[in-house]
Structure 1
């Protein structure tokens, strides 16, 4: 069984419930983080000390408060963690109900399991932990069992998510191009970016960029 686990969750009640479930699985080294930035620092320190975490369990939504953070959601945390420790197992434990976003978590961030918070979520979480430890398979809560097989869902790429996020921040083409170049992301030419955005508008039947961002937010893509 996993030996060292980090829980990224800002609600004490849920964090305590998850920790209890881990204890019942005979896991003794359990760490907590209420902020994504803190979770990433703990991952970095564990790697530096040569005692890395085996598993990250993270929520997606973290409430904004007086503290300023670089990482504001579970998606950003998992992406940052995977760059540091690609092999770490990851479980998302969330109330997210957008199938597009859930499928993107598997396809673009390489998570191992998604468990919906709810009445029977703790037993499902324990089962997911046991399953991904014993076998290299993708695990979803029962209500989402068909998401990965649903071919009607657009295969949204990480590149598309990046474009949509930059558009949602009000960036124009030239600014998006510069941002992609500075991050080493290709293609980053204005023409290529415009073509990709137009392709997304056609697929989502969006009338313009504002409409595209509105649809993306409704689908939980940004």
Structure 2
């Protein structure tokens, strides 16, 4: 049996070594390396996904008409909708109904215009907006990018959104249409202003002449 004076110094030395080793690591980390800087701290944000990249740069459904430019909201293709004139479109989906209101300022005064909600957003070509948006699509035109339905069973103001109007002496007007349905996701993205009021007869239903201007709304 070892003498007491030998055991005590040995035990104390072991305790000191243990405490020294523990002091070298934060509590609970052991030998694990410290975490690196976060993405936010490095200044490298997560790249934007396609859905995060906005299309038009202006406010959707509102703006002054100008020739097409990338990101434009209100585009004019004809002098009857002059540069600097303006439009505002409001879309209100309430329950099973949708109400679209179109207000215009500074167009050709005391003139008739046709106007409808179209499938796609405005582009450099008037046809880029595609055909009229229809709640019940005409089977004869499904899958067509531009071909418009002229069958009054489908081309009518209950199955489409028609916004024909007549401007006053200052070229201003406001018109509203309410239908008993809502837009499908990703469609009904523009309002196109046409040269004449909209036809309703067989073979010309939905037709309203040249496309003069376009407002991206969705």
* TM-score for both structures, normalised by structure 2: 0.22
Pick the structure with more strand per residue: 2
Whose RCO is larger (CA < 8 A, sep 6+)?
2
Normalising by structure 1, we get a TM-score of 0.21
Answer 1 or 2: which has greater helix percent.
1
